[in-house]
């Protein structure tokens, strides 16, 4: 839980979907779900067919839908067995009528990994509505987008499109042209994992915090694998990229990089510190923001720590766990508690 991911679908020379998900996105969670789906030729054929019945909305409309569903979840107005975003995304299908249909017109866009099933059963009468993949493009790639819908103004950009104001009910995939787009044109590094389904080449590529894939599978391989073999093949490929399997940092910095004054404090430590974080109040592993990671891509320690999921603890006034750490290798400094910087430096642990 707490592992973010996105699914990208490429078909007939175009990116057709970019669906994000914030729970259990790792290779044994969402990765296994995708494996089971793509290991069936019947389902991949249905996926191609269903993509012809996919329509699109804007990121703002998606945000409104997600907010409304969150409100209904909190009130308990949805199905009895759906009380969290995790269960909503995994249990949601369009097979049988339910209160989910009444939640929001754009509920499909919030369906997480269930999007594969939804697309595969889509028809002209029962279309699937997703966020147009152009809204997930990088700032650089956004400059190359072509806005060709008849109601778009000549000066349109991805940030000023208001479909409701323009009275555009749904977009088609070609209303915003993403010419020559590749994986580098999407913010896939914002997610822990990214899954690239290429229906033209019949391949699945798995990315983890980077633009270079960790592993690539053909659909033929997926059909011959068991789930355990699928996961094992991924772990083996990841191990080959880091044969020593040994992180070399000596000091870990607790706390995430965000846009505030503490970022500079973090970076002022001669770049001898990396950044670790926690999800849902639980310590996880050494990470940094995607933007910062790209700027400091040469630091192997970041990759090593992420690959090995190095456990950490989070310092706070109510948590003394950090006192029991091996200080030489696991010193923590949290941006919220600036005096920890002086404590580390004065103890000569660098």
Looking at the structure, tell me whether residues 211 and 302 fall in a common domain: no
Structure letter (DSSP) for residue 14: E
**Cβ atoms of residues 151 and 168 within 8 Å:** yes
What six digits make up the tokens of 302?
């970041």
Q: Same domain, yes or no, for 74 and 159?
A: yes
279 and 217 belong to one structural domain: no
pLDDT, position 46: 95
Q: Do 201 and 54 share a structural domain?
A: yes
233 and 165 inside one domain:
yes
Last residue of a domain, one of 174, 205, 239: 239
Question: Which is it for strands 193-198 and 176-177: parallel, antiparallel or unpaired?
Answer: unpaired
What's the whole-model pTM score?
A: 0.67
Domain extent, residue 278, equals 252-346
Are residues 135 and 39 both part of a single domain? yes
Listed in sequence order, the residues at least 6 apart from 21 whose beta carbon sits closer than 8 Å to its beta carbon are 4, 5, 6, 7, 30, 89, 112, 113
Same domain, 147 and 260: no
Q: Identify whether 245 is part of a domain.
A: no
| 75 belongs to a structural domain | yes
Q: 252: which 2 tokens?
A: 């870990």
Tokens 């973090």 -> residue: 266
Distance CA 63, CA 181 (A): 24
pLDDT computed for residue 196 by the predictor: 96
Name the packing angle between helices 227-241 and 30-38 (round to 10°): 120
> What does each of the 350 residues of the chain score in pLDDT, given as a tens digit?
468 889 999 999 999 999 988 778 889 888 998 999 999 999 999 999 999 999 998 888 888 777 877 777 777 766 666 666 666 666 665 444 355 555 667 777 777 778 888 899 889 988 888 999 999 998 888 989 999 998 998 788 888 888 888 888 889 999 999 988 998 898 777 788 999 999 999 999 999 877 788 899 999 999 999 999 999 989 888 876 544 443 333 334 444 433 333 334 333 333 333 444 443 343 333 334 444 444 444 445 445 544 554 443 333 333 444 445 444 344 333 333 333 333 333 343 33
Are 328 and 289 part of one and the same domain?
A: yes
Looking at the fold, whether 150 and 270 belong to one and the same domain comes out as no
Q: Is residue 246 part of a domain?
A: no
For residues 113, 115, 121 and 125, what is the CA-based torsion angle, rounded to 10 degrees?
A: 160
Residue 204 maps to a domain: yes
H helices, E strands: number in the chain = 14, 12
Number of domains in the chain: 2
What is residue 216's DSSP assignment?
Answer: E
Domain end among 214, 239, 264: 239
pLDDT attached to residue 68: 77
Q: Indicate whether 304 and 230 sit together in one domain.
A: no
Q: Do both 256 and 203 map to the same domain?
A: no
Distance CA 125, CA 68 (A): 25
Instruction: Please report whether residue 247 resides in a domain.
Output: no
On whether residue 297 sits in a domain, the answer given is: yes
Strand ranges of the sheet holding 282-286, from the earlier edge strand across to the other edge: 252-254, 274-279, 282-286
Give the residue among 137, 139, 330, 151 at the shortest CA–CA distance from 249.
Answer: 330
pLDDT score at 275? 41
Are 200 and 273 contained in the same domain? no
């Amino acid at each position: 839980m707490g592992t973010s991911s996105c699914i990208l679908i490429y078909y007939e020379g175009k990116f057709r979907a970019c669906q994000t998900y914030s729970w259990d996105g790792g290779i044994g969670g969402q990765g296994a779900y995708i494996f089971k789906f793509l290991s069936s030729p019947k389902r991949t054929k249905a996926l191609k067919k269903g993509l012809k019945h996919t329509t699109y909305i804007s990121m703002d409309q998606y945000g409104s839908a997600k907010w409304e569903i969150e409100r209904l979840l909190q009130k308990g107005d949805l199905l009895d067995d759906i009380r969290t975003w995790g269960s909503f995304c995994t249990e949601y299908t369009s097979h049988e009528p339910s209160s989910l249909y009444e939640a929001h017109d754009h509920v499909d866009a919030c369906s997480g990994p269930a999007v594969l099933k939804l697309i595969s059963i889509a028809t002209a009468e029962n279309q699937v509505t997703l966020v147009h993949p152009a809204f997930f493009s990088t700032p650089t790639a956004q400059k190359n987008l072509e806005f060709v819908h008849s109601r778009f103004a000549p000066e349109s950009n991805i940030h000023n499109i208001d479909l409701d104001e323009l009275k555009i009910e749904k977009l088609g995939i070609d209303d915003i042209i993403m010419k020559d787009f590749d994986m580098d044109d999407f913010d896939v590094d914002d997610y822990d994992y990214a899954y690239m389904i290429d229906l033209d080449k019949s391949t699945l590529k798995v990315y983890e915090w980077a633009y270079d894939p960790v592993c690539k599978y053909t659909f033929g391989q997926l059909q011959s694998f068991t789930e355990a073999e699928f996961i094992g093949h991924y772990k083996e490929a990841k191990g080959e990229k880091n044969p020593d399997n040994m992180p070399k940092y000596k000091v870990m910095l607790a706390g995430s990089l965000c846009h505030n004054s503490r970022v500079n404090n973090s970076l002022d430590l001669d770049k001898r510190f990396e950044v670790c974080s926690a999800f849902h109040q639980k310590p996880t592993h050494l990470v940094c923001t995607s933007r910062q990671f790209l700027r400091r891509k040469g630091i192997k320690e970041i990759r090593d720590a992420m690959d090995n999921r190095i456990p950490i603890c989070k310092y706070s006034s109510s948590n003394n766990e950090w006192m029991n750490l091996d200080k030489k290798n696991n010193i923590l400094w949290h941006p919220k508690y600036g005096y920890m910087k002086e404590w580390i430096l004065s103890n000569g642990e660098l």
